[in-house]
Structure 1
Amino acid sequence: MSFSAIYDIGGSAMRAQVMRLDTVASNLANADTAASSEAEAYRATKPVFSALYTQDFDNRSMSAQVQTLGVVKSDRTVEQRFEPNNPIANADGMVFYSNVNPVAEMADMMSASRAFQTSVEVMNRVSSMQQSLLKLGQ
């Protein structure tokens, strides 16, 4: 595997973790939002990733990367509260709150941050290996 392929893998992994952090940030920002109907309530989002492997036609080199398949909304039910004095309450006095679990989102954020840092470390080690090889050639 070439150094450039390793950089491609690390770069795609870093982009995936940035997308994951973006969805966590959006979910946390909307954690306490309220709506007047279940359909309007904010639903947590999660990115879906896949490993994509490619091989050259001559089978001499192989590469991989993280591919983003899309972003899906959570199917967890939204919280309903009886708040008849709330200005956005529906005719039954119900207010619908997002289905975001802040504790789960914080854990996901920590996991994504660590995965991003791991990719940075891989890139740094590959760079160090390249520098060592260049010194050997002198």
Structure 2
Amino acid sequence: MGFFDGYDIAVSGMSAQRTRVNVTSANIANAKTTHTEEGGPYKRQSVAFHDVLLHEKNKTNGTNDLRAPFAEENDKNQLALRGVGVKSIIEDDSAPVMRYEPSHPDANDEGYVAYPNINPVIEMINLLEARRSYEANVTAFTTHKNIDVRTLDILKA
């Protein structure tokens, strides 16, 4: 393990959770959006993460060859965890919630309006979970920094 590996892992976790917070915030903000540029109601989004791996042999020569998580099985023992990344942002394909509002401008011929299938309570829980994960990565970063500072103090003495 290199000197900065702990920092890299914590920073990648913070970046991934920041993306999750942004996507979840967009879901909450668009919970009542009935019309988008693509047509139809807003579609809920979620974030898929993947582990970012590094070849151990490349770690020593400084090339930092980041690998996708789809490495062959025989390479798994030669890979070291480098952090976490955002694999993709996935749109939910669930059916919209239909509400009878005949006076709404987006109402269909029968008077029903298609609303996004977004539960604000679940989104708030996802937001809190992402925030706690972000805070855990900040704590790991700070702890790593404190260990390094104490090590340098011991070496100075």
TM-score by length of 1: 0.90
Measure the CA separation in 2 of the matches of 1:99 and 1:110.
20
Shift of residue 58 of structure 1? 6.4
User: What is residue 86 of structure 2 aligned with on the other side?
Assistant: 68
Structure 1 SS opposite 2:24: helix
Measure the CA separation in 2 of the matches of 1:129 and 1:59.
22
- Which blocks of at least 5 consecutive residues in structure 2 are unaligned? 61-78
Shift of residue 13 of structure 1? 0.4
Name the amino acid aligned to 1:12.
S
Identity of aligned residues (%): 28
User: What is residue 120 of structure 1 aligned with on the other side?
Assistant: 138
Shift of residue 137 of structure 1? 1.1
User: What is residue 70 of structure 2 aligned with on the other side?
Assistant: none
How many residue pairs get matched? 136
Structure 1 SS opposite 2:151: helix
Structure 1 SS opposite 2:88: strand
Shift of residue 99 of structure 1? 1.0
Name the amino acid aligned to 1:19.
T
Measure the CA separation in 2 of the matches of 1:82 and 1:21.
32
User: What is residue 20 of structure 1 aligned with on the other side?
Assistant: 20
Structure 2 SS opposite 1:137: helix
- Which blocks of at least 5 consecutive residues in structure 1 are unaligned? none
Structure 2 SS opposite 1:3: coil
**8 Å contact kept, 1:3–1:126:** no
**8 Å contact kept, 2:51–2:81:** no
User: What is residue 57 of structure 1 aligned with on the other side?
Assistant: 57
User: What is residue 9 of structure 2 aligned with on the other side?
Assistant: 9
Measure the CA separation in 2 of the matches of 1:3 and 1:59.
12
Cα deviations by residue, 1:72-131 (Å, 9 ceiling, x for unpaired): 011222101122222221222121101111111000001000000000000001100111
Measure the CA separation in 1 of the matches of 2:116 and 2:59.
49
Structure 2 SS opposite 1:85: coil
Name the amino acid aligned to 2:131.
S
**8 Å contact kept, 1:55–1:63:** no
| Match for residue 113 of structure 2 among 95, 117, 131 | 95
